Structure 1
Amino acid sequence: MSTLRVTAEKLTVHTHPNADALELAQVGLYRAVVAKGQYQDGDWAVYIPEQSVLPAALIDELGLTGKLAGSGHDRVKAIRLRGELSQGIVCRPAALAGTDLAAAHAEGRDFAPDLGIVKWVPPIPVHMSGDVVAAADLLHWVDIENIKRYPGIFAPGEQVVATEKIHGTACLYTLTPDGEFVSSKGFGAKGLALARSDRNLYWRAVLAHRVPEAAAKLAAIFGAERVGIFGEVFGQGVQDLAYGAKAGAELPGYAVFDVSFSDASGAVRWVDAEELPGVLAGLSVRLPVVPQLYAGPYDEAALVALAEGRETVSGTAAHLREGLVVRPRRERRSDITGSRAIGKLVSDAYLTRKGGTEYE
Structure 2
Amino acid sequence: MSTLRVTAERLTILDHPDADALELAQVGLYRAVVAKGAYRTGEFAVYIPEQAVLPEPLIDELGLTGRLAGSARNRVRAVRLRGELSQGIVCRPGALDGVDLERAAADGTDFAERLDIVKWVPPVPVSMSGDVDAAPDLLPWIDIENLKRYPDVFAPGDPVTVTEKLHGTACCLTFHTGSGTLEVTSKGLGARRLALRESDGNLYWRAVRGHGLPAVAAALAERLGADRIGIYGEVYGSGVQDLGYGANAGAGLPGYAAFDVCADIGGQLSWYDPADLLDGELPLVPRLFHGPFDLDRVLALAAGNETVSGRELHIREGVVIRTADGRYSPDLGGRAIAKVVADAYLTRKGGTEYE
TM-score by length of 2: 0.98
- Which residue of the partner structure matches residue 270 of structure 1? 271
- Tell me whether 1:109 sits opposite 2:104 in the alignment: no
Post-superposition shift, 1:185?
0.4
* Uncovered stretches (5+) of structure 1, i.e. residues with no partner: none
The answer to whether residue 277 in structure 2 is matched with residue 279 in structure 1 is yes
3-state SS in 2 of match to 1:228 = strand
Number of the residue aligned with 1:17? 17
> Aligned partners of 1:15, 1:159: CA distance in 2, in Å?
34
C-alpha deviation, 1:250, in angstroms: 3.8
C-alpha contact (below 8 Å) 1:208/1:250 kept by paired residues: no
Q: Identical aligned pairs, as a percentage?
A: 64
Q: State how 1:136-151 maps to structure 2 within 5 Å.
A: 136-151=136-151
**Cα distance in 1, alignment partners of residues 55 and 276 from structure 2:** 48
Name the count of aligned residue pairs: 353
Secondary structure of residue in 1 paired with 2:328:
coil
SS in 1 for 2:288: strand
Give 1:166-315 correspondences, 5 Å limit.
Answer: 166-176=166-176, 177-178=178-179, 179-265=181-267, 267-271=268-272, 273=273, 276-281=274-279, 286-315=281-310
Counterpart CA distance in 1 for 2:257 and 2:96 is 45
Aligned with 1:103: secondary structure?
Answer: helix
Matched residue of 2:283: which SS?
A: coil
Instruction: Quote the offset at 1:306 in angstroms.
Output: 1.1
Give CA-to-partner distance per residue, 1:238-288, whole Å, 9 cap, x none: 0000000011244210000000010232x21101x3xx3131126xxx200
Q: Distance in 2 between matches of 1:91 and 1:171?
A: 37
Alpha-carbon distance in structure 1 between the residues aligned to 2:51 and 2:161:
27
1:105 match: secondary structure: helix
- Following superposition, the deviation at residue 128 of structure 1 comes to 0.3
Match of 2:325?
330
Aligned to 2:250, what secondary structure does the other structure show? Answer: coil
Find the residue that maps to 1:113 and give its secondary structure: coil
The CA deviation string for residues 150-189 of structure 1, in whole angstroms up to 9 with x for no partner, is 0011111100000000000000000012311000000000
SS in 2 for 1:232: strand
Residue pair 1:168, 1:238 contacting (<8 A) in 2 also: yes
After superposition, the C-alpha distances for 1:174-221 in whole angstroms (9 at most, x for unaligned) are 001231100000000000000000100000000000000000011011
The answer to whether the Cα contact below 8 Å between 1:307 and 1:324 also exists between their aligned partners in 2 is yes
User: Secondary structure at 1:182's aligned position in 2?
Assistant: strand
Measured in 1, the distance between the counterparts of 2:216 and 2:324 equals 23
Deviating above 4 A after TM superposition, structure 1's stretches of 4 or more consecutive aligned residues are none
Q: State the alpha-carbon separation in 2 of the partners of residues 3 and 149 from structure 1.
A: 11
1:66 paired residue number? 66
CA distance in 1, matches of 2:105, 2:70: 30
Question: 2:88 is matched with which residue?
Answer: 88
Q: Which moved more, 1:249-258 or 1:150-159?
A: 249-258
CA contact (8 A) 1:174 1:181 kept: yes
Is the contact made by 1:26 and 1:32 (CA closer than 8 Å) also made in structure 2? yes
**What stretches of structure 2 of length at least 5 have no aligned partner?**
none
Partner of 2:165: 165
What per-residue deviation string (whole Å, max 9, x for no partner) do you get for residues 20-47 of structure 1? Answer: 0000000000000000000011010000
